Amino acid sequence: MCNSVKMASEGETIDYNSPYANYRSPLSTRYASKEMQYNFSDQKKFSTWRKLWIVLAKAQKELGLEITQAQIQQMEAHVHDIDFVAAADEEKLTRHDVMAHVHVFAKLCPLAAPIIHLGATSCFVGDNTDLILLKDGLEMLGNRLAVVVQNLAEFCNQYKSLPALGFTHLQPAQLTTVGKRGTLWLFDLLLDERALRRAKEDLRFRGAKGTTGTQASFLQLFNGDNEKVKALDKRVSELSGFQKSYPVTGQTYTRKVDLEVVSVLSSLGSTIHKMCSDLRLLANMKEIEEPFEKSQIGSSAMPYKRNPMRSERCCALARHLIALFSNAANTHSVQWLERTLDDSANRRLTLAEGFLSADAALITLANITQGLVVYPKVIERRINQELPFMSAENIIMAMVKKGGDRQVCHEKIRVLSQEAGNQVKIHGKENDLLDRVRADPYFKPIVNELNSILDPSTYIGRASEQVTEFLETEVKPVLALYDLEQINQPVKLSI
């Protein structure tokens, strides 16, 4: 162990015991919530180990083993008072984290010491605890995602009829509406909500499976009674909040389960990245901005800047989420036979960071979606720059109705469009196609109709109705699954 104060080679005095002299994960210091941090904390992990030893003892007692209520009560009295220093010292001696905590717990509960961890393998506490953490983490993420869905649904409804220029290939396309564009993000989030919910519902418990999954130790404890061993597995799972356990395991539950969960988180990352990339593009166009605080500084050198830093943060966290998928896939793929330990260090990083990153991204996204700022005049101006070109077909149809020849009209519009395009691209001027149409005697029969022909609301199809229908039939039933009054609080970012 390093001395608390040490002289560096350059002569600098370093206090290695200072929290600022040690690496601290930015997920903990800057981004993720206290609730999600606690979910993956040592306190929750090791107190859950103790709860599992209690659950195991209760189930074994129910099924006839000689375990007393006094032993169980003694364990229950010491679930949370964990001596982490003592456990660390024990682990240095034993090189085994589970046995270190068994010894420390046994010293607190001398009456229960003989039956703590009875018949169990390390993965009884390790894997089962991980499954509890995954379940609780998915619950928290589902709640956070529901807040984002509600915020975005309100945004879509508010702007469902506001025309906006659509883009395909990032080139001007037919009009859409601001709210309709928002439903594209929202539908992806609904798919993520479904995936999170299914992942939570699909989780089972490892239960009481023994050293290599054969339940041999428990079969010996119950003198070869298969039914009691099966009942123990079922009861341990029920007492831990799971209706089912995995039917077969090796020493561990299959790491395919981790892969499925991380896959859901990575998929959520792709949704967040796509949405926030769109917001960054729209911020560049000055059509939509994320919230910007009164005292917020966009740049140390350029005080006028309003950088979309929240969306950029979401994209950064989302990329990390996406990358974690390969970690989980590789870990599952190299688990030889009943298990190897090269999953351990990787899972300590991947699972916790996956949930903390998703938590942080959703917190930030909730903050963004509760305060999006729309600039209708900028959006209108961009429409006016492009709509004259898009109106060409409507102008032709109007002329035909007045007795004009379609081919002649098409050629007239083509020539005028090219001339107007040159004004925009070569000379940097405004699109003057409509002025050219008005000035051409050929189009005199429809000049008085041009304003109605160019009404943006006539170019958005069923966008507004689609938003209303989508919110009612798809979004509303999902939000009904959540207690939004309890979980939907104004989201403020710490940094």
Q: Which of 299, 333, 452, 457 is catalytic?
A: 299
Pair 343, 417 in one domain: no
- Return left, alpha or beta for 225; rule: phi > 0 is left, psi -120 to 50 is alpha, else beta: beta
Which 3 state secondary structure label does DSSP give 162? Answer: coil
Pair 67, 90 in one domain: yes
Pair 81, 189 in one domain: no
Q: Which of 9, 169, 295, 300 is catalytic?
A: 169
Whether 1 has a pLDDT exceeding 50, the answer reads: no
On whether residue 480 sits in a domain, the answer given is: no
pTM for this prediction: 0.88
The pLDDT value given to residue 474: 97
Q: What number is the average pLDDT over the span 213-233? A: 94
Minimum mean pLDDT range among 5-19, 107-121, 335-349, 436-450: 5-19
Active site annotation includes 101 = no
- Count of structural domains, the chain: 3
Pair 270, 141 in one domain: yes
Pair 271, 396 in one domain: no
Whether 30 has a pLDDT exceeding 70, the answer reads: yes
User: Contact 363/271 with Cβ under 8 angstroms?
Assistant: no
Pair 421, 319 in one domain: no
Pair 319, 432 in one domain: no
Active site annotation includes 299 = yes
Pair 369, 441 in one domain: no
Confidence of residue 489 (pLDDT cuts 50, 70, 90): low
Confidence of residue 484 (pLDDT cuts 50, 70, 90): confident
Pair 201, 331 in one domain: yes
Pair 352, 420 in one domain: no
Q: How far apart are CA 275 and CA 187, in angstroms?
A: 11
The pLDDT value given to residue 298: 54
Q: What number is the average pLDDT over the span 253-266? A: 95
- Domain holding 103, by residue range, is 38-115
pLDDT tens for each residue of 272-305: 999 999 999 999 999 999 987 655 555 545 545 5
Q: How far apart are CA 184 and CA 318, in angstroms?
A: 18
Pair 64, 202 in one domain: no
Which CATH number goes with the domain that contains 408?
Answer: 1.10.40.30
What is the per-residue burial (b if ≥16 Cβ within 10 Å, else e) of 417-426?
beebeebbee
Residue in the structure block whose two tokens are 């000049």: 447
Q: What number is the average pLDDT over the span 447-456? A: 85
Which CATH number goes with the domain that contains 166?
Answer: 1.20.200.10
